[in-house]
Amino acid sequence: MGVNRLLVRSVLLAGFATGCLAADDGLIRYEGRDYGLEHASPRLRTLLYDLDLDYFRQRRVLADELLYEIYLKSEAARRGTTTGALAEELLRIEAPTERDIRSFFQENRSRIGQPYGEMREPIEQHLRDQRLRAEKASLLARVKSESEFLSLLSPPEPPPLDIDTRGFPRKGASAPRFTIVEFGDYQCPHCGKASRVLHRIVERYPEDVQLIYMDFPINRSGISRLVAEGAVCAHRQDRFWAYHDLAYARQSALDHESPMELARALELDVAAFAECLASRGTKAQVARAEREARRLGLRATPSIFVNGRPLRSRHLERDLHRLIDGAGAPEQG
């Protein structure tokens, strides 16, 4: 593809060396002693890791922009054209149709909160930008695969954390090689997707993986907390996973009556379930999971850990397969 390979490598090496903290890097010096990540609380270690991960992701975006600039200059010179003309040729996209724009508006109407007439132009531009980014990403993927390309950026190492999972529901292997802990919220759409992925992972690796679920009800409606308390009661009747799966399957329709409706649908002992739902111990169990999430510095759901290390993946199923199959570390971010 005519990329100046030496230039790509040397510029990436010089300008984009990783700046993330290693476990033994010092953060402060206090009264003659250096302190680093190994001295930090679990909450601070998680927050520092997330900060490093955000930094890594931003540098990766800039590294891709650098590659795009270098490739464009090199290829334009080879073809005897300008970089602007070549960019127009390489990044051709179809303009969003009226149907595309209206469809986006309808799907996001509740979040947009403005009339269509006022939002039509910004939506059209958003869709154009979205398609342009996708076309550019496709071009760069092709450049990387067809040339001698190597990214010299390294993601930060996720910190090992001790998680108190005693008394929380689990399934899968009794002596697992991989223990996956999920902190979830029953009204979180991404948690619903993650729950299905994790179910498939446990089914695929029944002798290798154990899954533990802990509640982190961050939705302000209060419904997630009620459903989580219902899950505690289902667990006491040995039906946690059936309740969990049905709650996520009905996620879009969950309301304050859902715990009892789920109990009836699963033919639980409804009287015992109702008594459990009203008990302080049930509320305390959900609160204990929530405290653990906050002790670990969690701010979002789903938050997933593998063998005590946070996994921040945008391709959860693929990365879990890679990790379990020994195909390498997951692509954090």
Question: What pLDDT does residue 138 have?
Answer: 97
Strands 209-215 and 178-184: what pairing? parallel
Residues 279, 282: Cα–Cα separation, whole Å: 6
Pairwise pLDDT comparison (332 vs 258), residue with the higher score: 258
Could you tell me the pLDDT band of residue 20, with boundaries at 50, 70 and 90? low
Place of tokens 């005897």: 80
Q: Do 230 and 273 meet the contact criterion of CB atoms below 8 Å apart?
A: yes
Two tokens at 278?
């009203």
pLDDT in tens, 251-291: 999 999 999 999 999 999 999 999 999 999 999 999 999 99
Contacts with 141 (C-beta within 8 Å, 6 or more apart), sequence order: none
Question: What pLDDT does residue 332 have?
Answer: 60
Asked whether the predicted pLDDT for residue 79 surpasses 70, the reply is: yes
E strand or H helix at 171? strand 170-172
pLDDT in tens, 82-137: 999 999 999 999 999 999 999 999 999 888 989 999 999 999 999 999 999 999 99
Residues 297, 40: Cα–Cα separation, whole Å: 12
Place of tokens 């379990």: 324
Name the least confident of 88-97, 290-299, 323-332.
323-332
- Among residues 210, 201, 203, 205, the alpha carbon closest in space to that of 318 is found at 201
Three-class SS of residue 330?
A: coil
Residues 316, 182: Cα–Cα separation, whole Å: 12
Residues 96, 302: Cα–Cα separation, whole Å: 33
Q: Do 77 and 86 meet the contact criterion of CB atoms below 8 Å apart?
A: no
In CATH, which superfamily holds the domain spanning 170-324?
Glutaredoxin (3.40.30.10)
Going 47 to 53 to 54 to 59, the CA torsion angle's sign is: positive
Q: Do 87 and 28 meet the contact criterion of CB atoms below 8 Å apart?
A: no
Q: Percentage of the chain surpassing pLDDT 70?
A: 91
Residues 184, 158: Cα–Cα separation, whole Å: 20
pLDDT in tens, 200-225: 999 999 999 999 999 999 999 999 99
Residues 18, 20: Cα–Cα separation, whole Å: 6
244, with CB counted inside 10 A (0-12, 13-18, 19+), is buried
Three-class SS of residue 2?
A: coil
Residues 10, 66: Cα–Cα separation, whole Å: 12
Two tokens at 235?
């667990």
pTM tops 0.95: no
Mean pLDDT estimate for the chain? 92
- The region, left, alpha or beta by phi > 0 then psi within -120 to 50, assigned to residue 32 is left
Residues 170, 241: Cα–Cα separation, whole Å: 9
Residues 251, 245: Cα–Cα separation, whole Å: 10
Two tokens at 30?
């206090």
Q: Do 73 and 83 meet the contact criterion of CB atoms below 8 Å apart?
A: yes
At residue 38's C-alpha, the angle toward residues 37 and 42, to 5°, is: 75
Every domain of the chain with CATH number 3.40.30.10 lies at: 170-324
pLDDT in tens, 143-180: 999 999 999 999 999 999 999 999 999 999 999 999 99
Question: What pLDDT does residue 37 have?
Answer: 86
Question: What pLDDT does residue 6 have?
Answer: 38
